[in-house]
Chains A and B, each alone.
Chain A
């Protein structure tokens, strides 16, 4: 296990290095002059030259690469082209809102998906089962931006129930939480379709297992069998997909943040792209890669711990 972990971490470091190299080199390929993009419509040539110098764009490529890497080792992602703010500061400001949304969506996902899955598995073939079977397909297929837009249309535009735009301030928790409801739900819908499906399948598998049959033979009540024995085993795969949930939430937030006008990592990336503010793009993409790699390692690890069978099919790992 320790050896495996070490191998994965080593691989992750190599991949992160390559990622950083790709991102650092890419700045010279970005079309559009960031100095112009930043200065807008009436910049004098002197001003453009000044800003380019300030951005370090007039230095040789090798020097720029070196600057980036030596900074990276000190946890420095460079400074934003315009305000000269450290990119890490910008990311640090954006991250809490993104994480709040990701966590909220995961809580909603489990809080809604697991009970639904249990109810469905309790009466397979029942009305609820049939109903959710059809719906789950749609929930699982619909991308985050579709669910977000539909929620926006229904609850914010049509019914005007909930505040739609912006992330709010931590200092006003009630308001902050109320602004989380719609985007978090949009992200959780996928899991409301997905969790009951796997829960139902594993539940049925477990319920037909020999030890459950013997439990029945011993005359345990059906409820005791279901909740005490079967459920415990069926929940394992759900814990195992935690890492995947993290990955899904992080990328889903890009859309949810855009549609609900929230500040966060996703909107930071998009506005940076808009301005060709490459240090910020680079920093945000690097951060995503970092989280994503961690989430994937977490996913594979938890999987290995919880389900020994996986080791047999290592070829299907996602890699890093």
Chain B
């Protein structure tokens, strides 16, 4: 516990960390209290008030169906997190387990799993997401699964590598020579050592998931209406941009704000938790890049 507390204190000591922390806390607060702080029902249609400019009643104006832009962005926060967190955690859990198995047991299982992971990795996430959602249809669950599917190979690869390197550590060899069973070694010794670097990636992946999700929705393959998803808001705002630009302002600001906050926090966490990853991330940019894909 004190270790966690120490990590948090060290993160807060850095300006990037404290700013990121503040943004993330604020985002979580908005998501939790959305129905309380949103001035209107995000789905309430009022055709008489279409494309209203900002006013005291509607701080960010209204959209093409007269709905309150601000309320939609606020409720969208909830949805963004409700998809991003489960997606990343599912990718993490699946990648961790399969990677552990592939790395520790090796052999044919390893090869099969690696080829599967590589096949998924050979598609850009957005393209993979588009193709898969076309196949399985659009829903919140499917979007979550598709994002998890496009992220999990990274975890598999990473977990496999970690398992490979830890497995050759002297103390594991000692355990094995003492006759410890495979399951015991995998879950009691390998797993705990693999968690910290993987958790760093989890932290860095939350904004990636938010961005992929909104991107798919923007392209028309997101969650079904009336969910005020940020990507859907961008899509609808873009369609009507010739009439009013106001519906775009809120979601654009929200995405920049939230992704920057999570990235700041994630990077600080990475720098503190695992300097090795920090170096790698900085050199290859792979972890940053992923969201762009």
Contacts and interface: CB of A to CB of B under 8 A. Distances in A.
Question: In the complex, is A directly touching B at CB under 8 Å?
Answer: yes
Interface of A: 11, 14-16, 18-19, 22-23, 26, 29-31, 137-138, 140-146, 149-150, 152-153, 157-158, 190, 194, 197-198, 201, 237, 240-241, 244, 247-248, 250-252, 254-255, 258-259, 269-270, 273-274, 276, 281, 285, 288-289, 292-293, 296, 299, 303, 307, 313-320
A34 B158 CA distance: 40
B117 interface: yes
B291 interface: yes
Interface string B187-222: 000000000000000000001000100110011110
A151 B157 CA distance: 37
Interface in B42-101: none
Given A143-B214, A241-B285, A318-B157, A149 B131 contact: no
Given A250-B124, A273-B134, A137 B285 contact: no
Contact of A318 (B121, B256, B260, B291): B121
Contacts of B263: 137, 140-141
Given A317-B157, A319-B114, 4 more contacts: A15-B122, A143-B291, A315-B165, A318-B157
Contacts of B221: 273
B17 interface: no
B288 interface: yes
The 10 closest A-B pairs by CB, nearest first: A315-B161, A251-B124, A141-B259, A320-B118, A319-B118, A141-B260, A143-B211, A141-B263, A18-B119, A289-B122
A247 B293 contact: yes
B256 A248 contact: no
Contact of B219 (A18, A26, A137, A258): A258
A190 to B, nearest CB: 6
29 contacts: A15-B118, A22-B119, A23-B131, A29-B136, A137-B263, A141-B263, A144-B292, A150-B252, A157-B241, A158-B245, A241-B284, A244-B289, A250-B124, A251-B293, A252-B292, A254-B126, A254-B127, A269-B130, A273-B131, A274-B220, A288-B123, A292-B122, A315-B157, A315-B161, A315-B162, A315-B164, A317-B157, A318-B154, A319-B121
B157 A319 contact: yes
Given A143-B214, A149-B252, A255-B215, A244 B126 contact: no
Contact of A289 (B115, B116, B123, B280): B123
Interface in B250-293: 252, 255-256, 259-260, 263-264, 280, 282-286, 288-289, 291-293
Judged by DSSP, the binding face of A is helix
Contacts of A201: 282
Given A143-B255, A250-B124, A29 B157 contact: no
A313 B197 CA distance: 14
A22 B134 CA distance: 14
Contacts of A316: 157-158, 161, 280, 284, 286
A15 B291 CA distance: 22
Contacts of A190: 292
Interface string B156-184: 01101110110000000000000000000
A236 B135 CA distance: 42
B121 A320 contact: yes
A286 to B, nearest CB: 10
Nearest to A290: B122
Contacts of A273: 130-131, 134, 221
B119 A15 contact: yes
